[in-house]
Each structure stands twice: as structure tokens, then as C-alpha cells.
Amino acid sequence: MEKKKKFKIQNYRFVIQTAFALLCIWIGIEFYLFVRFLDSGGASGFFPRPPGVDGFLPISSFMSFYLFLKTGEISMIHPAGFFIFTAILLVSFAFGKSFCSWFCPVGFLSELLGDLGKLIFRKNIRMPKFLDYPLRSLKYLLLGFLLYSVMFVMSDMAVKSFLESPYNIVSDIKMYYFFADISRFSLIVISILFLLSIVFRGFWCRYLCPYGGFLGIMSLLSTNKIKRTASSCIDCKLCTKACPSFIQVHKVNTVISDECTSCLNCVDVCPVKDTLELKNVVLKKRVNKKIAAAGVVGIFILVTGFGMLTGYWQNNISKEEYLNHYKYIEEYGHPTDTKKMRELNEESGSKNESVTPERKKSN
Ligand code: SF4
Ligand code: SF4
């Protein structure tokens, strides 16, 4: 058996995950300062809204992407969200569900909690199979509901009206208050998810994240896959033991799974040269691990950078408009009930009114 050189891409992956998590924390701090400015009624110094916060609005970003596909128009309410979503989608086409294991801060946290669980229980505890399969379908049910609501219930104009509605304009601020003023119930639910993620590695990602489900489906179309050469495999099962997604890597010739996050853990641990690799299945060529890492990061930077350079990054909402919307934020409800959805479809020409409650008189 020819041993291979020990080079672990995991160190690079950890650096990228940490850098992205720090970037998200920085965006969070900037957004906090922006909300503080709004909360002071404009009295405290103006702090601009960081466009990167759009990345935390996946539904709005998807709707923006969908509208672009249908009409060629980029919504200017959360334009950065459109480019972040497009970047994630392209990364998934090229390198599978890699956003989850290379960038996503929730995926990173989930991984750290899983490591903590392994430290406590001395192994990764696997959900019993009879529960694993039905639970894995939950994220697809959530995804199916979201896709159905946007693609089949709403007309193009209704999607546009939603994107331009006051609710969508302030959805990031509402999300901020969801966490800043968290209710007891939400805190209990989040704490339970934390605990479950310690016990069962990747609980949130594996069972509940509809975004991950969507990327998992997209990743099946990727031509870069983990390939095993059965003739040189010594059946040591190290790849399967290292796989955080519980994929039986040692049993397959090609990993085709919606759960594979392209973390390359399995490739790192395989002790035999040229036996487990990332390969382009069309070109039948090995993809070097460093090239894969550069590809994942490069696509993301190129697409989001394109948005920044072409002026589709900052939204077109002035601070005066934000200050005005902030006064009524409590009244801006989600247009989820059938009546409002019908209004959106029927009155989509008169944007905003259909989803905006009667405005209070300004004091
Ligand atoms: S199969 Fe390999 S690349 Fe895919 S999730 Fe498992 S360890 Fe990561
Ligand atoms: S790590 Fe997996 S692919 Fe590599 S030799 Fe062992 S069983 Fe075979």
C-alpha cells in the first residue's frame, strides 16, 4: 500500500469558517449600531446599515432570486441578499453543499457543538434509523412549503409587492428584535436545539434547516464528487468514521448524497494514496483539495464582489425612510394569511398598501 502525504485541508477550512463567523459578528455589531441610531429617533450619530445583514434573510433573498429569474429585475430592497444567495447557489453547483461546511456560521456552531458532544460522550451518537429518516424529511417539508408558497401561491407581481412591502424592508430589524428581546418560549426552543446538537451531531442542519435541504438538492447536480477507488481501498473505514454526515463512504464508489457537505474530512483521513479523492465526474480528473478550497471561496467572493462593483449591494432606502418605518415596526405584520395573500395577488399594482396596516399618525 502506498501511503499518501499528510496534508489536511481541514486546517484551511477551520480558518475560513472562523473568518466568516468573525465577519458575521462584525456585521451584527454594525447592525446593532444602526438599530441604536433608529431607536434614538435619529438623535444619536448615524451608523449605516451593513448590507451583509441581507444574508440572514434567506426567504427574502430567494424571492428576490426568483423574481430575477422571472422578470430579469433585481429588487433593490435587499440586493446584497440576492447576490449572496446567487453565490451560495453557484458554490453548491460547483462544489456540492460546501456552503454548509465552509461558510455557514450556524453550520460552524453546529460543528463545534458536535465536537463538544464527541468529547463528552467519546463518540458521535447517531439517531436511531427509524427516527433518522422521518426527521430528515422535516427540512424538505419546510422547504416544500416555502417554495410552494412563493412559486405557486404568489404571482410575480405579488412577489414584487412583498419584496417592496414595509414588512420586508424592516424584516432584518424584526429579526434583530426576535433575538434581542427573545421570548421565553423561543429561548427554550433554541436551548433545546443547542442541547440536541451536542447529543446528535448537526441536529439542526440534518433535520430542520430548509436552506441546507435546498442546497442538498442543488448539490446533487454538482459534477465534483467524492470518489473511492475500490481496488486500492484497504477497507479501514476511517473515511466513514470521519464523516460528520454519517455517510458510509467505505461502501460506495461515488458519494451521491444530499447530506454530503463537501467538508473533505474523509479525503483527509484516507491513508492510501489516490484512493479517496474529490473528482470531476465529467472530466474524470482529480480536483486538488487546495483548488477546491480556492474555488469555494473564489466563487463566493467573485459573485458578491460583482454585486458590490455594479452598485447592487447597498439598498436604496434612505435613513429618513428607515426612521419613518421604524415608528410603525410593531404594526408591520407578515402577509401570511390567505386574505392578505389574495390582496397581494389582486392588488399587486398598488404596492405596499396591501400588506401595510393602517399607519398611525406620527406624533
Ligand atoms: S462524505 Fe466526505 S466530504 Fe461528504 S460529508 Fe462525509 S466526510 Fe464530508
Ligand atoms: S479511508 Fe475509506 S476509502 Fe480510504 S482506504 Fe480506508 S475505507 Fe478505503
Tens digit of each residue's pLDDT (9 = 90 or more) over 285-302: 999 999 999 999 999 999
Percent of the chain with pLDDT over 70: 90
The verdict on the CB of residue 127 being under 6 Å from ligand 1 is no
Does residue 252 sit within a domain? no
Task: State the number of CA atoms in the 13 A half-sphere of 41 facing the CB.
Answer: 3
Identify the pLDDT of residue 149.
Answer: 93
- Least confident window among 15-24, 158-167, 288-297, 329-338: 329-338
SS3 state at 69: helix
- The mean pLDDT of 61-70, rounded to a whole number, is 96
pLDDT in tens, 217-234: 999 999 999 999 999 999
Does residue 236 sit within a domain? no
Cα-to-centroid distance, 112 and ligand 1 (Å): 16
Q: Tell me: pLDDT of 358 over 50.
A: no
- The mean pLDDT of 97-105, rounded to a whole number, is 96
Q: Are 20 and 107 spatial neighbours (Cβ–Cβ below 8 Å)?
A: no
* DSSP annotation string for 305-352: HHHHHTT-SS-S--HHHHHHHHHTGGG-----SHHHHHHHHHSTTSTT
Domain that holds residue 161: 10-222+291-330
Confidence of residue 359 (pLDDT cuts 50, 70, 90): very low
Q: Tell me: pLDDT of 159 over 80.
A: yes
Identify the pLDDT of residue 303.
Answer: 98
Identify the pLDDT of residue 357.
Answer: 38
Does residue 170 sit within a domain? yes
Does the model's pTM come out above 0.85?
yes
* pLDDT top residue among 244 and 352: 244
Identify the pLDDT of residue 342.
Answer: 53
Identify the pLDDT of residue 45.
Answer: 85
Q: Tell me: pLDDT of 356 over 50.
A: no
- Least confident window among 248-252, 330-334, 339-343: 339-343
Q: Are 296 and 95 spatial neighbours (Cβ–Cβ below 8 Å)?
A: yes
DSSP state of 103: T
- The mean pLDDT of 185-194, rounded to a whole number, is 97
Identify the pLDDT of residue 353.
Answer: 42
Nearest CA to ligand 1 atom 1: 260
Identify the pLDDT of residue 346.
Answer: 57
Nearest CA to ligand 2 atom 5: 233
DSSP state of 78: S
| d(C-alpha 204, C-alpha 191), whole Å | 12
Does residue 335 sit within a domain? no
Cα-to-centroid distance, 194 and ligand 1 (Å): 23
Cell of residue 251, nine digits: 461502501
Does residue 243 sit within a domain? no
Measured from the alpha carbon of residue 228, the closest ligand is 2
Identify the pLDDT of residue 42.
Answer: 87
The verdict on the CB of residue 239 being under 6 Å from ligand 2 is yes
Of 227, 255, 270, the residue with max ligand 2 atoms within 8 A of its CB, to mutate for a pocket test, comes to 270
Beta bridge partners of 254: 227
Q: Are 83 and 303 spatial neighbours (Cβ–Cβ below 8 Å)?
A: yes
Cα-to-centroid distance, 144 and ligand 2 (Å): 36
Does residue 162 sit within a domain? yes
Q: Tell me: pLDDT of 341 over 70.
A: no
Q: How many domains does the chain have?
A: 1
Nearest CA to ligand 1 atom 7: 243
Which whole-number Å values give the CA distances from 234 to 237, 240, 243, 247, 277, in the listed order?
A: 8, 13, 17, 18, 15
Identify the pLDDT of residue 93.
Answer: 94
Q: Tell me: pLDDT of 151 over 70.
A: yes
Identify the pLDDT of residue 158.
Answer: 94
- The mean pLDDT of 74-89, rounded to a whole number, is 96
